[in-house]
Chain A
Amino acid sequence: MMNQTLIDVQKLTIAYGDFVLLKDVSFQVKQGDIFIIMGGSGCGKSSLLRVLTGLTPASGGKAFVAGVDMVSASAAQKDVVMRRCGILYQSGALFSSMTVADNIALPLRQYTDYSDKMIRELVALKLALVGLAGFQDFYPSELSGGMKKRAGLARALALDPEIVYFDEPSAGLDPISSKLLDDLILDINQSLGTTIVIVTHELSSIFAIGRDSVFLDATKRSVGARGNPTELLKNPPNKTVYEFLTRGHTDAKGTK
C-alpha cells in the first residue's frame, strides 16, 4: 500500500537536561518515499535520527514508526519495529572482528530460519547488489571508506527492511563514490519500494534523490521548512533555507 504514512512525528521535543535541541518538530514520511532530514551542523539531525531509531529518548511529543511510538514504546516494542528497519551509519559501523560476510549474515542468523547455504547465497547477493561481489572473506580494515559504507548498506538490507535510515551517507566520499551511492539508494527504493530516510547536508545528494524533506533550523531549534527540496529552492520560505540550499548565497530571493 503505497502513500500510506509510515513515519509520523508529532510535536517532538529533544532536550539534553535544560538544553532544548529541538522543539515542536512535526512531519510525516510516506511509504516508498525518499525523505531527507537536512540542516546545518548541530541543528539536531542526528539526534532526531537517534530518536526515530529508539536509541535516544525524546523529552516530549510522539514519533510513530510503523505505528509504534518510539518515544513511549517499551524496549521489546522498539526491537520489533527496528527489525523492520535497516540503518547505515556514517562509518558503515561494521564489526571489525568479523569478515564482511559474517557482518551481513549476523541479522540473518539472528532473525530468520534460513539454512547456512541460503544465508551464504543471500550474503553473496546483497554484496553483489552493492557492487562488492566476492568480498565475503575480507575484513572491514581491508576495505576503503566507500566500500565500508556499501558493505554497511548490504548489512542494513539483509532482512529486506521496509525503512532504511542513512546517517550522512555521502560524508567522506569522493564525488563519484557519492554519486554511485545515491544511484544505489534510488535503485533500492525503486526496485524494492523501500522507504528511505536520509540525514544529510550534502546538497548534491539532496537534490539528486530527495523527494520530500524537512529542514531543521538551528536558530529556531525547530522545523524551518517542509517539502520537496527542489521546490524549496525555487520558492524558499525564508532566508535561512535559501542560504542553506544555495551554499550561502544571499540575494533578494532569500528574503522573500
Chain B
Amino acid sequence: MGFALQQNGQKMTLSISGEFVRYQDPAETDRLIRHIKKSNPKALVLTDAGIGRWDSSLLVVLYQIVRMARLAEIPVQKQTLPEGLQRLIDLAFSVDRKPSRPNPARLGFISYIGDVGIRAMNSVRRGLDFCRQICISMGRFVCGKAVLRPIDFWFALDDCAPKAVGIVSLISFMVGLILAFVGAIQLKSFGAQIYVASLVTIGMTRIMGAIMVGVIMAGRTGASFAATIGTMQVNEELDALQTMGISRTDFLVLPRVLALVLAMPVLAMLADIMGMLGGAAVGIFMLGISPPEYIHYSIEAFNLTNFFVGVFHGFVFGIVIALCGCYFGIHCGRNADSVGVATTKAVVYAIVWMIIMTGLITLMCEVLDI
C-alpha cells in the first residue's frame, strides 16, 4: 500500500496502490508534495497501480497534491484513476472562488474609547426608548386601546404566581432559618437569644423577603421571558408582529409586566411569612424559646411600615425583572447562541438593577424618615 513517484523526462508519475481506509500519513503526503514541487514537472500523472477499497483518507491526499499542482500550474492527468475518485477530485475544484466577508476595521486606543462610549450611549438610548414604549403601551392599556390578549396575561400570571409558590416558600423558609441561626450565635453569648424573633421578623419583612423573591424570580421568570421572546425573534415571530402593525410591547411585554407587577408583592408577603416560620422553627426547636413567647416578640417587632416597604420593594423588583427579561428577549440575535446570551443578560441585569433600586429606595426611606 502506498505511493510511488517516478520521473519520466518532463513528466512525473504518481502510482497509487493498496487499500486506503482511514489511512493517515501526513509526513508521507508532505514528502510527496515537496518532491513534486521541487521537481517542477511539465505534467503530473496520477495512476491506479491497484487501488483497493478507499475512502476520503485517500481523496484528501490526492486533493492536497492536485491543489499544490494547480497552484504551481502543473497540469494533472488522472484518467486511469477509479471513476469515483476522478469525479470527486473534479467536484472538489468545481467551485473556485475566494470567500469574502467584511473586515472589521482595527481601532486605535482613542477610537476604541470613543466606540465604547457611542455603544454605551446607544444602549442607554435603546433602554430609554423601550421604557418610553412601555409607558405608551401602559397608557393605551388604561384607555382600553392596547392590543393585548387576556389569555396571555393569565398565562403569564399563572407562571409567575401559583407555579412559583413552592420554590419561593422553600427558599424563604430556609433563609429565615439561616438568619435565625446566624443571629442566635451572637445573641446567645449575651443571653439574648429571644431577640432572634425580632431579628428575623424585621429582617424578612423590611428587605430580605423581597430580595430573595427578586433573585428567585429573576432566575426563574425573567430568564423565561427572555428565552421565550428571544426564541420568537429567532423564529421571525417578532418580525411578523411588526409587519402586521401590532405593537410588540402591547402584545408581548405588557401582559408579562402586569402579571409580574401583580405577583411580586404577593410573593414578597409569602416570603415574609415563610421566613418568619423558618426563624420560629430555629427559635422554638433549637433555642428552646416557647411558642407564645416567640410569637409575642415577633408581633412586637412587626412593623407595618417595614412590611409595606418590603412589599413596595417587591413591586419595584417586579417591574425591573419583567423589563429586563422582555428587553433582552426583544433585542436578542437570530441564532440559538443569542438566546442563551439574552437569557444570561436578563438575569444579570435584573439582579444588578434590583440592587441599584434597593439602594435608591433605602435612600428615599432615609430622606422621608420611613
Contacts and interface: CB of A to CB of B under 8 A. Distances in A.
Interface of A: 96-97, 112-115, 117-118, 121-122, 124-126, 128-129, 131-135, 138, 140-142, 157, 160, 184, 187, 190-193
Contact of B60 (A122, A131, A193): A122
28 contacts: A96-B337, A112-B22, A113-B22, A114-B24, A118-B60, A122-B56, A124-B63, A125-B60, A125-B63, A125-B92, A126-B56, A128-B91, A128-B93, A129-B92, A132-B95, A133-B99, A138-B99, A141-B334, A141-B335, A157-B56, A160-B55, A184-B91, A187-B87, A191-B83, A191-B84, A191-B85, A192-B84, A192-B88
B101 A142 contact: yes
Given A97-B336, A118-B57, 7 more contacts: A118-B60, A121-B26, A122-B57, A157-B56, A184-B91, A191-B88, A192-B84
Nearest to A131: B95
A133 B101 CA distance: 14
Nearest 7 A-B pairs (CB), nearest first?
A131-B95, A128-B92, A96-B335, A191-B84, A191-B87, A160-B55, A134-B99
Q: Which of A96, A125, A138, A140 has the most CB of B within 10 A?
A: A125
B56 A187 contact: no
Contact of A187 (B26, B63, B91): B91
B24 A115 contact: yes
Q: Which of A124, A133, A135, A187 has the most CB of B within 10 A?
A: A133
A137 B22 CA distance: 25
B63 A121 contact: yes
Contacts, number: 75
Contacts of B94: 131
B197 to A, nearest CB: 52
Interface residues of B, number: 29
Nearest to B56: A160
A128 B335 CA distance: 25
Nearest to A112: B22
Interface in B61-117: 63-64, 83-85, 87-88, 91-96, 98-99, 101
A135 B57 CA distance: 21
Contact of A129 (B26, B88, B334): B88
A129 B91 CA distance: 6
Nearest to B24: A118
Nearest to B98: A134
Contacts of A113: 22
B101 A138 contact: yes
Nearest to B340: A97
A124 to B, nearest CB: 8
Q: Which of A113, A118, A193 has the most CB of B within 10 A?
A: A118
Interface in B223-246: none
Nearest to B25: A118
A193 B84 contact: yes
Contacts of A118: 24, 26, 57, 60
Contacts of B59: 125
